[in-house]
């Protein structure tokens, strides 16, 4: 395997003109819900992901790709438009479902841009017997005049010779039915072999939840294998650019919905035969909006000037010194958190430091068994100091972590004299990003809006830790 920090390509210019065929390439996005980089090709030995690993061997694997939000709908609203969700007022989770809010002028879906360029666009559903895409979009905006985001539900519905752009959205490893289905596999992950992060207690419930999550990743790999087989049967595999990635980080406590690396760090594998080097590894910081920009460039389209993403390969790629991520209301839980992640450090700003990490969230209460176990252990005084941080009645206004020395991000250096200058520098970068991108998070939703978008919010109980 070749590990390199520069841009690996076979073609001299890996842009829209560099193709191995006279046909325009098909482009396929394969997405796993709530998928952290817990794959065999990322060094995780408890999972068995031969199909995804084969993509990595045949393409380029990114080790530090992040989505712009740690939950699905704002993240998807972002990379389906190439814009930060905070800039287009799509930052509150599952918002604008009832008010007919539409995208600002000049902001469009990537599927619409490609459709106008002659691509057939599809959100694929039926792949093989027992293997289906969810058809998920989950946008925090509405399309004008009832316009559909995609032309169809499979690339086989296109005209003869027409290139396709498709998304396949898999619910594994999202909480819900896939966690149950994953238990039915012949080989399951042994909970006793799971390596837990230091912020979670070593408890049978916690180990079981982690193991079940890894089981769903194994299930996802079989689904990806069915996609590759389908492309091969249709004679389209070699002329299809494949992007494989997650919509946000892992759905385990302190991951999804939070701006630690566990909440935004996702895998990205790019396969483009004859253009992208095989087996290459990229360690530079990237964001999911870059996938959108690269998709347009490889389709032969210009990257719009208002895009916040940039191509991942070729002459137009620019090294990122830092990336920015944002979390706002999730379901009924009102919050605003912003973060800047540099090469070594992560700066997090909590706009509601008076509120606990354990604000009421019905989804987390019902779907995260680890939380219940931690509440019980906390009452019994059995959590250590690191684990008990999650039970604190409030949060620090600023969190600052050395991700190199402290990859789990448990040692807050915000008040460290030795890091004072670094904290100030990261705060300045975040302030500039908020200003330059027109972050809408400072404008709160009204209580009526929140209740309309999520009626559960009215009955949300006060959490007592």
In the chain, what are the domain boundaries?
A: 2-321, 337-458
Q: Assign 310 to helix, strand or coil.
A: coil
Residue with tokens 């666009």: 121
| Strand segments (E) across 337-394 | 337-342, 345-350
Q: How far apart are CA 131 and CA 125, in angstroms?
A: 9
The answer for 29, left when phi > 0, alpha when psi is -120 to 50, beta otherwise, is beta
Judged on CB neighbours under 10 Å (0-12, 13-18, 19+), 383 is: buried
60, containing H or E segment: strand 60-66
pLDDT of the residue at 4: 44
Tokens for 172? 């594994």
Cα dist from 459 to 83, 139, 414, 456, whole Å: 34, 25, 36, 6
One pLDDT digit (tens) per residue for the chain, 465 residues? 334 444 444 443 344 333 434 589 999 999 999 999 999 999 999 999 999 999 999 999 999 999 999 999 999 999 999 999 999 999 999 999 999 999 999 999 999 999 999 999 999 999 999 999 999 999 999 999 889 999 999 999 999 999 999 999 999 999 999 999 999 999 999 999 999 999 999 999 999 999 999 999 999 999 999 999 999 999 999 999 999 999 999 999 999 999 999 999 999 999 999 999 999 999 999 999 999 999 999 999 999 999 999 999 999 999 999 999 999 999 999 999 999 999 999 999 999 999 999 999 999 999 999 999 999 999 999 999 999 999 999 999 999 999 999 999 999 999 999 999 999 999 999 999 999 999 999 999 999 999 998 988 876 665 555
**Domain 2-321, CATH number (from 3.40.720.10, 3.40.47.40, 3.10.20.740, 3.40.50.140):** 3.40.720.10
Residue 94: count other Cβ atoms within 10 Å of its Cβ: 17
Q: Assign 45 to helix, strand or coil.
A: coil
pLDDT of the residue at 274: 94
Q: Assign 146 to helix, strand or coil.
A: helix
The model's pTM is 0.95
Q: How far apart are CA 348 and CA 340, in angstroms?
A: 7
Cβ(217)–Cβ(39) below 8 Å: yes
Q: How far apart are CA 404 and CA 401, in angstroms?
A: 9
Q: How far apart are CA 101 and CA 271, in angstroms?
A: 36
pLDDT of the residue at 9: 46
Cβ(325)–Cβ(67) below 8 Å: yes
Instruction: Tell me which residue of 320, 309, 316 sits closest to 282, measured CA to CA.
Output: 320
The string over 259-292, giving b where at least 16 C-beta atoms fall within 10 Å of a residue's C-beta and e elsewhere, is bbbbbbbbbbbbbbbebbbeebbbebbbbbbbbb
Cβ(246)–Cβ(18) below 8 Å: no
Cβ(262)–Cβ(250) below 8 Å: yes
Cβ(250)–Cβ(70) below 8 Å: no
Tokens for 40? 């065999």
DSSP structural state of residue 173: T
Q: What is the DSSP string of 232-299?
A: HHTT-GGGEEEEEEESSS-SSTTSTTS-SHHHHEEEEEEE-TTTBPTTEEE-S-EETHHHHHHHHHHT
Cβ(241)–Cβ(29) below 8 Å: no
Cβ(33)–Cβ(174) below 8 Å: yes
Tokens for 208? 């079981």
Tokens for 460? 């949300």
Tokens for 23? 């046909």
Q: Assign 167 to helix, strand or coil.
A: strand
pLDDT of the residue at 460: 65
Tokens for 68? 């712009």
Cβ(358)–Cβ(330) below 8 Å: no
* Pairing state between β 286-287 and 60-66: parallel
Residue 365: count other Cβ atoms within 10 Å of its Cβ: 14
Q: How far apart are CA 357 and CA 377, in angstroms?
A: 16
Residues 6+ positions from 465 with CB-CB distance below 8 Å: 356, 358, 375, 378, 391, 392, 393
pLDDT of the residue at 3: 43
């Amino acid at each position: 395997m070749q590990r390199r920090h520069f841009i690996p390509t076979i073609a001299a210019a890996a842009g829209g003109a560099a193709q191995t065929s006279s046909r325009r390439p098909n482009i396929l996005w394969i997405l796993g819900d709530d998928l952290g980089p817990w794959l065999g090709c990322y060094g995780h030995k408890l999972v068995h992901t031969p199909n995804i690993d084969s993509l990595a061997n045949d393409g380029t694997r990114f080790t530090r790709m992040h989505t712009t939000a740690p939950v699905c709908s704002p993240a998807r609203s972002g990379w389906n438009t190439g814009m930060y969700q905070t800039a287009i007022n799509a930052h509150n989770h599952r918002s604008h479902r009832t008010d007919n809010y539409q995208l600002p002028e000049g902001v469009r879906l990537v599927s619409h841009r490609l459709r106008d360029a002659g691509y057939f666009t599809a959100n694929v559903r039926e792949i093989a017997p027992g293997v289906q895409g969810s058809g998920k979009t989950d946008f925090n905006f509405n399309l004008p005049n009832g316009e559909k985001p995609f032309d169809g539900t499979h690339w086989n519905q296109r005209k003869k010779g027409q290139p396709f752009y498709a998304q396949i959205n898999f619910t594994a490893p999202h909480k819900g039915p896939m966690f149950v289905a994953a238990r039915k596999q012949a080989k399951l992950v042994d909970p006793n072999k799971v390596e837990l992060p230091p912020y979670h207690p070593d408890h049978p419930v916690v180990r079981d939840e982690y193991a079940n999550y890894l089981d769903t990743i194994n299930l996802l790999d079989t689904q990806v294998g069915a996609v590759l087989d389908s492309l091969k049967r249709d004679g389209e595999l070699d002329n299809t650019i494949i992007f494989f990635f997650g919509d946000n980080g892992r759905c385990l406590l302190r991951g999804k919905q939070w701006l630690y690396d566990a909440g935004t760090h996702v895998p990205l594998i790019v396969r483009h035969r004859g253009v992208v080097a095989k087996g290459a590894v990229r360690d530079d910081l990237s964001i999911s909006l870059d996938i959108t920009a690269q998709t347009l460039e490889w389709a032969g389209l210009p990257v719009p000037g208002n895009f916040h993403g940039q191509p991942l390969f070729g002459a137009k790629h620019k090294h990122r010194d830092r990336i920015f991520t944002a979390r706002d209301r999730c379901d009924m839980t009102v919050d605003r958190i912003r973060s800047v992640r540099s090469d070594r450090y992560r700066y997090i700003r909590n706009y509601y430091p008076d509120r606990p990490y354990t604000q009421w969230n019905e989804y987390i209460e019902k779907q995260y068994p680890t939380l219940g176990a931690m509440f019980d252990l906390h009452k019994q005084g059995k959590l250590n100091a690191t684990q008990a941080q999650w039970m604190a009645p409030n949060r620090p206004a600023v969190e600052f972590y050395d991700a190199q020395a402290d990859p789990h991000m448990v040692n807050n250096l915000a008040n460290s004299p030795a890091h004072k200058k670094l904290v100030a520098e990261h705060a300045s970068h975040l302030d500039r990003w908020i200003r330059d991108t027109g972050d809408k998070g400072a404008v709160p939703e009204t209580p009526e809006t929140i209740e309309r978008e999520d009626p559960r919010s009215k009955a949300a109980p006060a959490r007592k830790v």
